[in-house]
């Protein structure tokens, strides 16, 4: 694809985002951002017992690249296993958004991917804590006397 085709894909995802909504029944949700430029994103994942992503969505504010990335990633990772999501890299975003865009705007282009991967880590930590009888991170533990 040429540069113009990548720009059209990015604009389409920005103007007509896929999976842009708060997911009430998410297994995990996690926010991320780029403090230097003000991009914010929250990723929601519903994960099945087989550690496969049943549904993904996002919400956010920021530049065209970061928000298009949220749409692209939420669409791409549905059906993937948690390990497959963790194995995605910058090349994934180069393939979807083009070398020119990703090279000059790496943080913007990879914000949603990095946040989704961090959400996978948070989900796994919470599952591990639960299997050890501990409260999930972020929840107050109950202590009985």
The residue ranges of every structural domain in the chain are 3-127
Predicted confidence at residue 4, as pLDDT, reads 93
> Which among 40, 42, 79 has a CA at the least distance from the CA of 57?
42
CATH no., domain 3-127: 3.90.1010.10
pTM of the model: 0.89
| pLDDT per residue rounded down to tens, the chain (145 residues) | 899 999 999 999 999 999 999 999 999 999 999 988 899 999 999 999 999 999 999 999 999 999 999 999 999 999 999 999 999 999 999 999 999 888 899 999 999 999 999 999 999 999 998 888 876 665 433 333 3
Determine the straight-line distance between the first and last CA of the chain, rounded to whole angstroms: 65
Q: How many helices (H) and strands (E) does the chain have?
A: 6, 3
Give the pLDDT score at 101: 85
């Amino acid at each position: 694809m040429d540069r113009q085709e990548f720009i059209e894909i990015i604009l389409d995802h920005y103007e007509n985002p896929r999976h842009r909504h708060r997911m009430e029944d998410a297994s995990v949700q996690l926010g991320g951002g780029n403090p230097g430029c003000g991009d914010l994103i929250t990723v929601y994942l519903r994960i099945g017992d087989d550690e496969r992503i049943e549904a993904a969505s996002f919400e956010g504010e920021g530049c065209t690249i970061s928000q298009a990335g949220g749409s692209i990633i939420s669409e791409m990772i549905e059906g993937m296993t948690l390990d497959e999501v963790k194995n995605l890299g910058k090349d994934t975003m180069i393939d979807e958004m083009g070398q020119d865009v990703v090279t000059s705007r790496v943080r913007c282009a990879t914000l949603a991917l990095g946040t989704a991967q961090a959400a996978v880590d948070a989900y796994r930590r919470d599952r591990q804590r639960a299997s050890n009888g501990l409260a999930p991170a972020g929840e107050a533990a109950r202590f009985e006397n």
